[in-house]
Amino acid sequence: MVLAVAAMLGATALVPACQKAGGGDQSANGAALAASGEPVPLDRLSVAPLVRRVSPAVVNIAVAHPSPYAQNPLLRDPFFRRFMGVPDNAVKPRLSAGSGVIIDAGRGLVLTNNHVVGEGSAIIVMLQDKRQFQAEVIGISPGTDLAVLRIPAERLTAAPLAAADTSEVGDYVVAIGNPFGLGQTVTAGIVSALGRGLTPESGMGLIQTDAPINPGNSGGPLINMRGEVIGINTAILAPGSEGNIGIGFAVPASVVRSVLRQADRAI
């Protein structure tokens, strides 16, 4: 899914990781090099440990949107469809794909974008382990483009939400999502700017990132190097196309917390 000004996106990152080479603790060596001010060799940088920890909390979301033609009882008959020049597939539900992140494992709460859910007649959440569940919409917030879903699942892994908006421009970040319906995909980048608004009247300060984000990443998490969700990828600036040009936006954690508090009252 993508917003015009904006196609849902995500951010990315590089982080020191432990790799064995020659018998030493490469993670410790890398940390010592970093502390000394010496450049850390590229073969000692990896987001793999971070991704292993957080990716089980990231989900793919498939949404069925009813066709407006299906509301006309006449068009259920193939004869009338041919007579009125309506193709058979026009009455079938339109399918779209997005991303989400499990934010409360005990209650099965999943956070995503409102525009991903839309007016969907059926919402299916697929976990990393391939289990699928039909989701219930707990609450939506069109103004912040957020939605809270609930799935009847056990043995879930949740991603921690950052306690405050402490990100700085230049921080490395990671985005995990479902671009173009391909399945879970990881990208990396930095925080490019803070407090951005998609429109002059927008009062919500978004996180801008240069991570490669594409349609389908909408609703996925933007993660810092501590493995915390600092934002929910919501849009990309893509003038004249739906492709990524390195300008994406995420709803910050402080706004997410506010929406979750409202959703709590609805549960």
Q: Tokens for 3? A: 């917003």
DSSP bridge pairs for 223 = 174, 229
Write down the catalytic residue from 115, 167, 171, 192.
115
Write down the catalytic residue from 104, 145, 171, 210.
145
Q: Tokens for 80? A: 């009338």
Write down the catalytic residue from 96, 99, 167, 218.
218
Does 115 qualify as catalytic in the annotation? Answer: yes
What is the per-residue DSSP string for the chain? -B-SS-B--------B----STTS-HHHHHHHHHHHTPPPPGGGB-SHHHHHHHGGGEEEEEEEE--GGGG-GGGGSHHHHHHTT--GGGGSPEEEEEEEEEEETTTTEEEE-HHHHTT-SEEEEE-TTS-EEE-EEEEEETTTTEEEEE---SS---PPBPSS----TT-EEEEEE-GGG---EEEEEEEEEEEE-SSTT----EEEE-S---TT-TT-EEE-TTS-EEEEEEEE--TTSSS--S-EEEEEHHHHHHHHHHHHHH-
HSE (side-chain half, CA atoms, 13 Å) at 61? 37
Catalytic center residues: 115, 145, 218
